[in-house]
Amino acid sequence: MLTEYSDAIHSMSEIEKILLKNSIKILNKTLEPGVDSLNLSSLGISDFIKNCKLEISNFKDIKKKIDKSAGHIDEFVKGIEDAQILREFDFEHKKDSLYNPMEFLSHFDEHMKRIIQEKADNYHMVGD
């Protein structure tokens, strides 16, 4: 039980510790009777152990959700970082005639709007 607690707490980054501050307090409060007043022959030790295991499990579930969310956020940020807003133009495609300025502009504008909208949607998903 203490090994699970230790693994869960000590594997956290400083940011996770800040985010999970209240959950850590709840977990520590659940374990607190074992530090001061309980020993292996105390009445209620089985309930204490059951409650501790349950609270450690709940904490690990919350931590797992945060880790998963952090992974999604990293993916979205990486996608925004790697977005190619301006794309190359294929001048060879129409080399026999001149490009209409509006055609030239729309080639870039449509692509840029689509990419920016995709990345903005991803950004808003992170905030929700």
List of residues 6+ apart from 118 with CB closer than 8 A: 83
- Direct distance between the N- and C-terminal alpha carbons of the chain, in angstroms, rounded to an integer: 35
CA 21, distance to chain mean position in Å, is 17
Q: How far apart are CA 2 and CA 74, in angstroms?
A: 31
Looking up tokens 């209409």 gives 100
pTM of the predicted model over 0.75: no
Between 101-127 and 45-82, two packed helices, what is the crossing angle to 10 degrees?
Answer: 170
- Pick from 118, 117, 119, 93: which is nearest to 104 by CA? 93
User: pLDDT tens, 77-95?
Assistant: 888 888 888 777 666 766 6
pLDDT in tens, 35-69: 777 666 767 788 888 999 999 999 999 999 888 88
Percent of the chain with pLDDT over 90: 18
